[in-house]
Amino acid sequence: MALVTGRMRHIERELATTAMARPTVILDSVGSTNRWLKEAWVQGEARHGTAVWADEQTEGRGRLGRAWESPPGKNIYTSVLWEPPRERLSGVLSLVAGVAVSRAVREHTGGDARMKWPNDGVIRGRKFCGILVEAGVDPSPWAVVGIGINVLGQVGAAYPNAVTLQECVASPVSREDLWLELMAQLETAYVAWLGEGDDWAVQAWTQHNATLGHMVRVEKPGQDIWVGRAESVAPDGGLWVANAERREKVISGEVSLRLADGGYAPESD
């Protein structure tokens, strides 16, 4: 089993937050940080801000039952619990988390990190990050915000669209420092969204996106594939796509989004 680094163990002391990542549970290995945190919350052992960070996941998950490759010693696999007001729970949470990821990566590495709708962090047209937000209202509103960031080394050949941050930026990337920055940015973004509303999240997300303005291919399981221009992101996190014949709001969780030419994401805007 991988050994968590000494710094990772004591990292909570270096946090610049008041609620986010307080407390943080550090694990050598876990099935999925999202599942672990959800279970802790159900058992009354997690509250708003509680975070978990694992060195390795043996059953890391993406959307629609897909797998998230999570080898030890290289990356960030982390989940944070949010307890937003019931009426504020929506797909916008994924945008709020995306804002925090791109700001943290820009701040820490200087790299041109962007968000591909709905939940992928991309740099130089390849995926370095996946966000999985799971939420519910029973017995009170909760959201588990799961973030996987490829930091060091290389991702397996099975994922040709994937990249690690260290492959894209010149200076050394520290996963501990990046995680600290991510927690600070999650706190800032959450507080701004709570106070200023969903439009704040849409605007902030739009600033660093790799989707709007591009021709995209909308693929819903069991339905015809169509191509349109990605126009805007709605306050509920949906994506407006339009062509001469139709205009539709595409909902996250239902679709895979590709560029019209089949590419994964633009290299730059």
Contacting residues toward ligand BT5, per CB under 6 A: 32-34, 57, 60-64, 66-69, 77-79, 119-120, 127, 130-132, 146-148, 150, 155, 159, 162
Sheet of strand 226-233, all strands in order from the earlier edge strand to the far edge: 247-250, 239-242, 226-233, 215-219, 256-259
Residue closer to ligand BT5 by CB (options 159, 226) is: 159
Instruction: Quote the least distance from Cβ 119 to ligand BT5, whole Å.
Output: 6
Residue closer to ligand BT5 by CB (options 62, 266) is: 62
Residue closer to ligand BT5 by CB (options 152, 242) is: 152
Dihedral-angle region of residue 167 (phi above 0 means left; psi in -120 to 50 means alpha; beta otherwise): alpha
- Residue 128 tokens read as 């370095």
Instruction: Quote the least distance from Cβ 134 to ligand BT5, whole Å.
Output: 9
Instruction: Quote the least distance from Cβ 132 to ligand BT5, whole Å.
Output: 4
> Cα angle vertex 169, ends 267, 1, to 5°?
110
Give the residue closest to ligand BT5 by C-beta: 130
Residues pairing with 105 in the sheet: none
For 63, phi and psi rounded to 5 degrees?
A: -75, 160
Residue closer to ligand BT5 by CB (options 117, 190) is: 117
Distance of CA 246 to the CA centre of its chain: 30
Instruction: Quote the least distance from Cβ 44 to ligand BT5, whole Å.
Output: 21
List CB contacts of 157: < 8 A, sequence separation 6 or more. none
Residue closer to ligand BT5 by CB (options 30, 234) is: 30
